[in-house]
Amino acid sequence: MPKAYCVTADAIERERERTKDNPSDYRISNILQLDELELRPVGPTDVRFRVLAVSAEHNINHAALADTVNIAALRGGKIYPGNSALGEVVETGELVTRFKPGDIVITHCNGEPDQYGYPTRIWAYDMPDSIGWYGEEAVVGDWQLIPAPLDCGLNLWEIAALPLRAPTANHLWRRAIGMWRVKVRLEQKNLANVLGFGGGVSELFLMQAAAAGHNAWFCSGNAARRAHMEKLGIRTIDQKQFNRFASKDDVKAFGKEVARLTDGTKMDIVCDMLRGPVFDAGLAAMGREAVNVSAGWQLSKVLTYDSAGASVKQITLDHTHYDTVTGANACVQLYGRVYKPTIHDEIYAFEDLPRAFDELEENTQTGIPIIRVAKEMPDSVKKLIP
């Protein structure tokens, strides 16, 4: 039986007892456990694939910390997480025409599209019965897979960094630029000032803004990630110079610095992704008619703001989530051309996956964390391994 990592409500409870109910002392590696998994038989429209590499995604930390909801408990006591993977097809159902054994694929994690295609649930998180991809093998419906763009110019780890983060960034960018354009016409202002706060999704969002010619700034506390963005021509701001917006004065100073950087006009578009103090900093950085988009709530899931002040400035706040299935397929065109992700220095071995999540939580990584799951790689991807 293939091995796969799981999060159990029992392990969370043990960690709660060990830390005397203090989630900030939780070790994710005490909660993520290697298990054996019986895969469902391959049905007529299913694909079985061998997982080659995955990226670490912060929602596993949400699952382990149970800080938004206790998703493992809600789903019957155990989940098999992992909603970003690159794999090799090993078996296909009799009705599958889009894939054949040997194909290299990536996943998307839209678990259940609503009537407009947006996810009501995320695969391997809140989608009932969904089994994730932090394991050696998986069986999914063929609609859950996308051919991997092996000739896009990215290496294998860079491609593996994108299945979850890139569609999220692409969705955020479409929404942000579309909403801003409703308010500010091309004849009035060609180029937007765009700000993103630390994290892989924001980095991709800013690459997309810069590729369309807009002025992009990346505000992060991580020097390695800032250096990568500067190499791509994206300006950076050190978030730690503003004490990560711990006080009102820090937020005020940040707003002043943004005004200086933008000749007084401030930002037209802000990608937040973290909320908490970052949300206040984003608001302070926004100019008139600006748009604030986010699909994340890592630092807080509750917002408070002056609605009247936002109205007077014609500010738009938008809440997004993962992309539609169509959008997830279409954004593969941007791999390598637009998206050049920052990868963490260490490529983790499968057995070190729990440590990758500890280090994600500690925020000590230099880029998107990648875990190599398969020891033996197919010939078709060997040349893409740096």
Closer to ligand NAP by CB, 49 or 297: give it: 297
Near ligand NAP by CB under 6 A: residue from 85, 104, 160, 164: 164
- Shortest Å distance, C-beta 344 to ligand NAP: 9
Cβ atoms 106, 148 nearer than 8 A: yes
Cβ atoms 178, 185 nearer than 8 A: no
Closer to ligand NAP by CB, 46 or 323: give it: 323
340 belongs to the binding site for ligand NAP (CB under 6 A): no
- Shortest Å distance, C-beta 264 to ligand NAP: 26
Which one of the spans 14-22, 73-81, 90-98, 294-302 is the region binding ligand NAP (CB under 6 A)? 294-302
- Shortest Å distance, C-beta 220 to ligand NAP: 3
- Shortest Å distance, C-beta 201 to ligand NAP: 3
In 3-state terms, what secondary structure has residue 312? helix
165 belongs to the binding site for ligand NAP (CB under 6 A): yes
3 belongs to the binding site for ligand NAP (CB under 6 A): no
Near ligand NAP by CB under 6 A: residue from 194, 273, 286, 384: 273
Near ligand NAP by CB under 6 A: residue from 274, 291, 325, 334: 274
* Residues with Cβ within 8 Å of residue 74, at least 6 apart in sequence: 126
Closer to ligand NAP by CB, 22 or 380: give it: 22
Query: Quick one: which of 378, 370, 375 has its CA closest to 85?
Result: 370
278 belongs to the binding site for ligand NAP (CB under 6 A): yes
Q: Which two tokens stand for residue 315?
A: 């500010």
Near ligand NAP by CB under 6 A: residue from 87, 296, 327, 354: 296
- Shortest Å distance, C-beta 369 to ligand NAP: 8
Query: Quick one: which of 74, 76, 135, 146 has its CA closest to 109?
Result: 146
220 belongs to the binding site for ligand NAP (CB under 6 A): yes
75 belongs to the binding site for ligand NAP (CB under 6 A): no
Task: Mark residue 244 as left, alpha or beta (left: phi above 0; alpha: psi -120 to 50; beta: remaining).
Answer: left
70 belongs to the binding site for ligand NAP (CB under 6 A): no
Closer to ligand NAP by CB, 241 or 333: give it: 241
- Shortest Å distance, C-beta 239 to ligand NAP: 5
| Surface-to-core class of residue 372, CB atoms within 10 Å of its CB (0-12 exposed, 13-18 middle, 19+ buried) | buried
Beta-sheet pairing, 267-271 with 193-197: parallel
Cβ atoms 125, 79 nearer than 8 A: yes
Beta-sheet pairing, 137-141 with 46-55: antiparallel
239 belongs to the binding site for ligand NAP (CB under 6 A): yes
Q: Which of residues 320-339 bind ligand NAP (CB under 6 A)?
A: 321-322
Whole-angstrom Cα Rg for the chain: 21
Please tell me the chain's helix, strand, coil percentages from 3-state DSSP, rounded to the nearest 5: 35, 25, 40
**DSSP output for 88-156:** EEEEE-TT--S--TT-EEEE--EEEE-TTS-EEEETTTTSTT---SSBSEEEEEGGGEEE--TTSS--H
Total residues at interface with ligand NAP (CB under 6 A) = 28
Closer to ligand NAP by CB, 89 or 210: give it: 210
Closer to ligand NAP by CB, 57 or 88: give it: 57
Other CB atoms within 10 Å distance of the CB of residue 122: 20
Which residues lie near ligand NAP (CB under 6 A)? 58-59, 164-165, 168, 198-202, 220-222, 225, 239, 244, 273-274, 278, 295-296, 298-299, 321-322, 360, 363, 368
